[in-house]
């Protein structure tokens, strides 16, 4: 059985240009801000319309810059 590539949000939207770690960070930020409510803002929309000025640089992992679970405990 092949493992699922979680960077494929749906067949029409692939995240081949980002790492798994960046995908995970997008996911956890989306989960924090929207509670996983895809009917409000889908993960696809969140990634496509991501505003680093509003949400912070996706490559910065620090609880001082990001409230998501991935950044908890990272100074």
Instruction: Return the domain boundaries, the chain.
Output: 17-75
Spell out a b/e string for 19-32, using b for 16 or more CB atoms within 10 Å of the CB, else e. Answer: eeeebbbbbbbbbb
Per-residue pLDDT tens over the stretch 20-63: 888 889 989 999 988 877 778 888 888 889 999 988 898 889 88
Per-residue pLDDT tens over the stretch 10-22: 555 666 677 888 8
pLDDT value of position 1: 43
| Phi, psi (deg, nearest 5) at residue 31 | -65, -40
- Residue that wins the pLDDT comparison between 47 and 4: 47
User: Whole-model pTM?
Assistant: 0.72
Residue with tokens 């996911």: 27
Give kind and range of the element (H or E) at residue 8: strand 8-10
Terminal Cα-to-Cα distance of the chain (whole angstroms): 39
């Amino acid at each position: 059985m092949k493992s699922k590539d979680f960077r494929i949000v749906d067949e029409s939207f692939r995240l081949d240009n980002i790492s798994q770690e960046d995908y995970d960070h997008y996911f956890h930020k989306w989960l924090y801000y929207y509670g996983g409510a895809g009917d409000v803002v889908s993960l696809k929309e969140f990634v496509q319309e991501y505003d680093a000025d509003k949400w912070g640089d996706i490559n910065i992992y620090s609880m001082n810059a990001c409230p998501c679970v991935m950044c908890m405990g990272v100074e």
